Structure 1
Amino acid sequence: MQLTAPATRRTGVRDADGMAVASFILGLLGLLVLNVFLGPIAIVLAAAALWRGTARRGRACLGLALGVADLLVLAAFMQADSTISWSF
């Protein structure tokens, strides 16, 4: 039984690390396209990764910041164009 507990913990940390990386990538991608969807997803993944105790705290924090930046960019362009989306 002692062998299964550390394996489960490692899997949980690995999942949290994957969430941190995914939030970073989605946050970056959200600055260019679909920021109304990718921004909130990046924020949720980063928060979940931080809550689970990821070893990649920096990447999770960057994902969180980029997710917030996605929403700020969306708000700025919505204000400028008076639309719900924006394009280049």
Structure 2
Amino acid sequence: MAVASFVLGLVGLLAMNVLLGPIAVVLASLALRRGTTRRGRALLGLFLGVCDLVVLAVLAGLDNTVSWAF
């Protein structure tokens, strides 16, 4: 789950961050709660998932819409 949250958070920065960001946060939280041995990747997945949501909020705020595009 830690690696999956990292990958989803990383991909979410480029595409579909409204969907992949929250999934990355949930998977990272579950991995940390279960005591994963890959704690660094889980924390990085959590950070990237939150960054996905921040990027979505900033870019959607600049466009004054719910979604954004390049």
TM-score (structure 1 length as normaliser): 0.78
- Does 2:42 correspond to 1:27? no
CA distance in 2, matches of 1:62, 1:80: 27
When the two structures are aligned, how many residues end up with a matched partner? 70
- Where do 4+ consecutive residues of structure 1 move more than 2 Å? none
Q: Which residue of 2 aligns with 1:13?
A: none
Instruction: Encode CA deviations 1:12-55: one digit per residue, 9 max, x unaligned.
Output: xxxxxxx0000000000000111011000000000000000000
Q: Which residue of 2 aligns with 1:5?
A: none
Structure 2: 5+ residue stretches without partners:
none
Give the root-mean-square deviation of aligned CA atoms: 0.5
Structure 1: 5+ residue stretches without partners:
1-18
Q: Point out which structure has higher relative CO (alpha carbons under 8 A, 6+ apart).
A: 2
Identity of aligned residues (%): 69
- Does 2:64 correspond to 1:82? yes
Higher CA-based Rg: 1
